[in-house]
Amino acid sequence: MRIAFLGKGGAGKTTTAAGFIQYMRARHPFVLAVDADVNAHLMSALNLSGEVKQLGLHFDEVTDYLRGQRTDLGDRPMIGTTPPANGSNFIKVSKNDPFIEKYAKIEDNLALLTVGTYQQEDVGGSCYHEKLKSLAGIFHHMLDHEDDIVIADTTAGTDNVATSLSFAYDINVFVLEPTEKSTQVFLDYKEIAPQFVERTFVVGNKVDGVEDEEYIQSRVGTDKYLGSIPYSANLKRFEQGEEDAIHSFQMEQARAFDNVHQKWRERKRDWQDYLDRLHKTFAWDCQRWYSDYYRCDMLTGIDKSFSYEDVMRVKTTV
C-alpha cells in the first residue's frame, strides 16, 4: 500500500512524511520512502546523507529497465503511463530488489527513491510533470502487497490530480495547518477529484490547542480527520541541534500516526480498477500528444491480456 502526504507549501508535508516513515520503520521490517517533490528535502529530513540518483534525470534508463523483455511494443518508446505487459520488469518492495538496489539510498530497513530537483538546463523550459514521468512508470510497475509500505512526500498543492500519480497512491493524507489557505487546498481537492475522496484523509499540523483543531474540523469535517500534531517546540529544539528532542516530537506525532497506520491496514487495492485507470490515462496521453509526437500509433498492440494479479502470483511464488 502506498501513502502520499499532500498539502499547501510549507504546511509540514516533508516533516510529517519523515515522521511517519520513522514511525513505520519502528514497526515494520522494511519501508520504501519516495521523495516525489522536485524541491527534494526528504533525504535530509530522514537524516540521510551522500549521493542519490535522481530518477527524474534518468527517464530513458528507468523505462529501458521497466520494458524488460516485452515484445508488444515493437520499437515504440515507453512513456510514464505505458501499462505493463507480461514481459515487463517489475519492482518489489524489498531491499534486494535489483531496481531498488540500483536507484535507492538504502539504510538499514529504509530505502529512499528520489525524483530529484531541477537542473540548470531545465530553467524556463521544463515542467515538473516531466520529472514525475519516471516515478509514474515506477509506480505502475510496482508489485506491492497489502503489507508492504511505501510512503511518499509530494509537491505542494493539488497538481497530482493532473497526472497518473493521482491513482497511484492508495491513501492520501493532507497535512493542514489551521489556516484558511491551508485547509482550502483539501477543499479544492475534494471538488476536483471526488473519485478519490474515499481514500483521502486529513492530519492537522502546527495545531496550537483545541481551538485550532476545531477550526480545521469546521472547515473540512470530522469524518476525515485523523488527528492533530501540535505546533512543536521540540521540533524547533531539534532543528537547533538538540538531537534528543526529536523523540519528544515523535511522541507528539504518534497519536495521529496511529490513525494513519490504521487506515493503511484497512485499505485494499483494487488492481483491476488501477489497471483500467492506467489504460484510460495512457490512451488519453497518446491521443492528446504522444502518437503525434512519435509519429506512430502508440495505442495499437498493447498487451491487453496482462493482469497485475496474475503477475503478482507468478512473481511472488518464484
Ligand X SMILES: Nc1ncnc2c1ncn2[C@@H]1O[C@H](COP(=O)(O)OP(=O)(O)OP(=O)(O)O)[C@@H](O)[C@H]1O
Length reported for the chain: 318
**Is residue 235 a contact residue for ligand X (CB under 6 A)?**
yes
Instruction: CB nearer to Mg ion: give 14 or 183.
Output: 14
Binding site partner of 200, from ligand X, Mg ion, none, Cβ cut-off 5-8 A by kind: none
Among 57, 156, 275, 299, binds ligand X (CB under 6 A): 156
DSSP 198-221: GGEEEEEEEE-SHHHHHHHHHHH-
Beta strands 110-114 and 105-107, pairing class? antiparallel
Instruction: CB nearer to ligand X: give 226 or 229.
Output: 229
Instruction: CB nearer to Mg ion: give 14 or 234.
Output: 14
Instruction: Give me the torsion for CA of 40, 10, 171, 21, rounded to 10°.
Output: 60
Instruction: CB nearer to ligand X: give 17 or 286.
Output: 17
Among 134, 163, 232, 281, binds ligand X (CB under 6 A): 232
Instruction: CB nearer to ligand X: give 100 or 175.
Output: 175
14-43 binders of ligand X (CB under 6 A): 14-15, 37, 39, 41
Binding site partner of 206, from ligand X, Mg ion, none, Cβ cut-off 5-8 A by kind: ligand X
CB proximity list for 16: less than 8 A, separation 6 or greater: 5, 173, 175, 203, 205, 229, 253
Which long-range contacts (C-beta less than 8 Å, at least 24 apart) are formed by 43-51?
A: 43/105, 43/112, 43/114, 45/14, 45/15, 45/17, 45/18, 45/153, 46/18, 46/21, 46/22, 46/110, 46/112, 48/105, 48/107, 48/112, 50/105
Instruction: CB nearer to Mg ion: give 128 or 290.
Output: 128
Return the residue matching grid coordinates 531541477. 118
**Is residue 172 a contact residue for ligand X (CB under 6 A)?**
no
| Helix ranges restricted to H, 33-122 | 42-45, 59-67, 98-103
Distance CA 69, CA 305 (A): 16
Distance CA 231, CA 208 (A): 6
Distance CA 118, CA 227 (A): 34
49-78 binders of ligand X (CB under 6 A): none
Of the ranges 3-11, 73-81, 86-94, 138-146, which one interacts with ligand X (CB under 6 A)? 3-11
DSSP lists the bridge partners of residue 5 as 153, 173
Among 205, 217, 228, 281, binds ligand X (CB under 6 A): 205
Least distance from Mg ion to the Cβ atom of residue 40, Å: 8
- Position with the least CB separation from Mg ion: 14
Instruction: CB nearer to Mg ion: give 173 or 278.
Output: 173
Give the binding site for Mg ion (CB under 5 A): 13-14, 41
Binding site partner of 229, from Mg ion, ligand X, none, Cβ cut-off 5-8 A by kind: ligand X
Of the ranges 11-19, 59-67, 109-117, 181-189, which one interacts with ligand X (CB under 6 A)? 11-19
Q: The dihedral of CA 250, 254, 260, 261: what is its sign?
A: positive
Least distance from ligand X to the Cβ atom of residue 231, Å: 5
Binding residues vs ligand X (CB under 6 A): 7, 9-15, 37, 39, 41, 156, 205-206, 229, 231-232, 235, 239
